[in-house]
Amino acid sequence: MTMMITMTNETLLIACMASPFVLAALTVLFHGMPVVRDTLNLLAPFVSLAALVMLADAPVTLQLTEIVPGAGIAFEPEPVGLIFAGLVCLLWPVSMLYSLAYLYQNRVPGMTSFLVYYNLAIGCALAVAFAGNLLTLFIFYEVLTLCTYPLVTHGKSREALSAGRIYLGILVGSSTVLLLAALVWIYHAAGTLDFVSGGILDGHLEDAQVKWLLLLVVFGASKAAVMPLHCWLPRAMVAPVPVSALLHAVAVVKAGVFTIVKVILYIFGVDLLAGAGAGEWLVYIASFTIIAASIIALRQSSLKKLLAYSTVSQLSYILLGAALLKPAALLGAVLHLLAHGFGKITLFFAAGAIQTASGKTRLDELGGIGRTMPWTMGLFTVGSLVIIGLPPLAGFSSKWFLLEGSVAVGGYLPAAVLVAGSVLSAAYLVPVIYRAFFTQAAPAPVARNEAPAAMLIAMLLPALMCAVLFFAVDSIAGFIAGAPGFAAGNAGDAP
């Protein structure tokens, strides 16, 4: 009976991770039959979602191959990974709906190759989420970069090509030089790369070495867009909107943040980092990124670039929460991973809808757009409120926990940065909303020119999720706090 159950759980895990890859293969196969191809792309994401729901937090491990002695490709879901996987699996079907609408409406050439790489990227993100050791995580982290490169350069313009160069240069450069060095170092120090509750490095490194190693990881995982390694992200906005929305607001960037959080929780262990005082400089770097990226966002003239800098800033909220090394802050960090994901994808979808319906991408063109596209701009407002962190939406919950954690630390800086970041995000988002609803571009009569229904539905769902997350925050917080790494943090916190 037990055997049966493990078999089923393994099958579910495989089904969840493999369906994007299978879908990519089928997309190639049905290249010549768009109807079949598109139907498959709309339906297959639900396979992953269903498998994930059935899997929930059932214990399962999957060992595939050994690459170096004692470490190979292995998967083992745990609460933080399941949260990331849940985010991806929930947004994947929505994004597919949106992507197809976007691709057809904007007559984007090369649909098949777009869908193939899009699905491959999703598969890699899920593999990152479920990775059972750091080597597996690293492998799919790297492959994820390669799968998204063709999406960034999909337009094949000169601008896309140079954005692609920067994309590869920074992402592959930092991960192969810094992150891989960190991996080998960890492997040498600890003799393993497994994710273990409480970390694997305790007693193997000196305090100064812990600081250096954390430095290698944080700058190595430059998908997290810590300054100054953030500049690939705004440049990558040259990609079609669905790519910017799902990959560069959710899957890819979150894979970077997720890597850092996982390493902090399960490789270092919260107690080791707190003992070595290694989290401190990460607090400073994250704080700097939050403020600096927000200020740069204020100065943007293109809506997508503004959202990109906002992403850079919000990602560092998650890092800040992780760097504080307190249970509440860690909880806030993981919650913010969800909240920002749902909120930011809504914003990007709205930006894409505006572009599709009216061809407008610059901020100064958006005067009165709220009257021609009330639904789109309404949902844009919801997304903005999530980012700013107002109730009754998910951004409030996550920022609440982050604040609680920073108060627990006792310093003024983190709390001040969190508040200032929110104020700044209001400063760059509210003018967009104001201009859309309360100014008029031209004295022409206002005609309704709403985005296609498919796009509106795709926007509505994540916006709804933000509200759901706010009201269900207790049960989700309980689920996350069940992660073994948090217990270690609690122990250190006890008076």
Partner 1 sequence: MNDALLLQLPVLLVVLPLLGAALGLLVRDDRLVWRMVLVVSVAAFVFSVALFVRTGEGLVLEYAIGGWAPPWGIAYKVAQINALMVLMLSTVFLGGVVYARRSFDKELCGRRLGPVYSALLICQSGFFGVAMTDDLFNIFVFLEMASIAGYALVASARAPRALTAAYRYLLMGTTGAALFLLGIGYLYLVTGTLNLSDMAPRLQPLLGSPAVLAALGFIGVGLLLKAALFPLHLWLPNAYAHAPSAIAAVLSGTSTKVALYVLIRLLFEVFDAASFPAALPDIMLVLAPAAIVAGSGLAFFQHQVKRMMAYSSVAQIGYIALGIGLATQAGVAAGLIHVFNHAIIKVSLFMALGCIAYRAGGCSLSDLAGLSKRMPWTAAAIVAGVVSLVGIPLTSGFVSKWYLVSAVLEMNLWLLAFVILAGSLLSVAYGWRLVEAAYFRQSEAGEAGEAPPAMLLTTWALIAVNFFVGVNPSWLTRACLDIAETLLR
- What's the rounded Cα separation, in Å, for the pair 306 and 309? 5
Which residue number, 7 or 184, has a Cβ lying nearer to partner 1?
A: 184
Q: Name the residue type at position 98.
A: Y
**Least separation, in Å, of the C-beta of 171 and partner 1?**
11
Which residue number, 137 or 466, has a Cβ lying nearer to partner 1?
A: 137
Q: How far is CA 250 from CA 189, 223, 303, in A?
A: 33, 11, 18
Which residue number, 72 or 275, has a Cβ lying nearer to partner 1?
A: 72
**Least separation, in Å, of the C-beta of 168 and partner 1?**
6
Q: Name the residue type at position 158.
A: R
**Least separation, in Å, of the C-beta of 200 and partner 1?**
17
- Is residue 29 close enough to count as binding partner 1 by CB under 8 A? no
Which residue number, 156 or 299, has a Cβ lying nearer to partner 1?
A: 156
**Least separation, in Å, of the C-beta of 193 and partner 1?**
11
**Least separation, in Å, of the C-beta of 156 and partner 1?**
6
- What's the rounded Cα separation, in Å, for the pair 331 and 337? 10
> Given candidates 29, 161, 457, 491, which one binds partner 1 under the rule CB under 8 A?
161
**Least separation, in Å, of the C-beta of 63 and partner 1?**
13
337: which 2 tokens?
């991973």
Neighbours of 349 (CB within 10 A): 34
453: which 2 tokens?
């229904």
* DSSP for residue 238: G
Rg (CA), the chain: 21
- Beta bridge partners, 62, equal 75
Site string for partner 1, 185-224 (x = CB under 8 A): x-xx------------------------------------
- The helix, strand and coil proportions of the chain, stated in percent and rounded to the nearest 5, come to 80, 5, 20
- Is residue 349 close enough to count as binding partner 1 by CB under 8 A? no
For the CA atoms of 163, 352, 109, 236, the dihedral, rounded to the nearest 10 degrees, stands at: 10
- Beta bridge partners, 362, equal 302
Q: Could you tell me where the beta strands, DSSP code E, fall in 322-444? A: none
3-state secondary structure of 447: coil
**Least separation, in Å, of the C-beta of 259 and partner 1?**
14
List phi, psi (to 5°) of 362: -90, 150
Site string for partner 1, 163-182 (x = CB under 8 A): --x--xx--xx--xx--xx-
Judged by CB under 8 A, the number of residues near partner 1 is 27
**Least separation, in Å, of the C-beta of 112 and partner 1?**
13
**Least separation, in Å, of the C-beta of 206 and partner 1?**
14
Q: How far is CA 193 from CA 68, 71, 74, 346, 493, in A?
A: 10, 6, 11, 36, 26
Which residue number, 25 or 53, has a Cβ lying nearer to partner 1?
A: 25
Which residue number, 157 or 439, has a Cβ lying nearer to partner 1?
A: 157
Which residue number, 115 or 319, has a Cβ lying nearer to partner 1?
A: 115
Site string for partner 1, 47-86 (x = CB under 8 A): ------------------xxxxx---x-------------
- What's the rounded Cα separation, in Å, for the pair 341 and 286? 18
* CA nearest to 404, candidates 395, 415, 394, 393: 415
Which residue number, 165 or 204, has a Cβ lying nearer to partner 1?
A: 165
* CA nearest to 58, candidates 75, 80, 77: 77
Q: How far is CA 388 from CA 181, 344, 436, in A?
A: 37, 11, 18
- Is residue 143 close enough to count as binding partner 1 by CB under 8 A? yes
> Given candidates 18, 42, 146, 467, which one binds partner 1 under the rule CB under 8 A?
146
> Given candidates 29, 56, 58, 184, which one binds partner 1 under the rule CB under 8 A?
184
Neighbours of 176 (CB within 10 A): 14
Which residue number, 142 or 404, has a Cβ lying nearer to partner 1?
A: 142
Site string for partner 1, 101-140 (x = CB under 8 A): -------------------------------------xx-
Which residue number, 118 or 140, has a Cβ lying nearer to partner 1?
A: 140
- Residues forming contacts to partner 1 in the complex (CB under 8 A) are 65-69, 73, 138-139, 142-143, 146, 153, 156, 161, 165, 168-169, 172-173, 176-177, 180-181, 184-185, 187-188
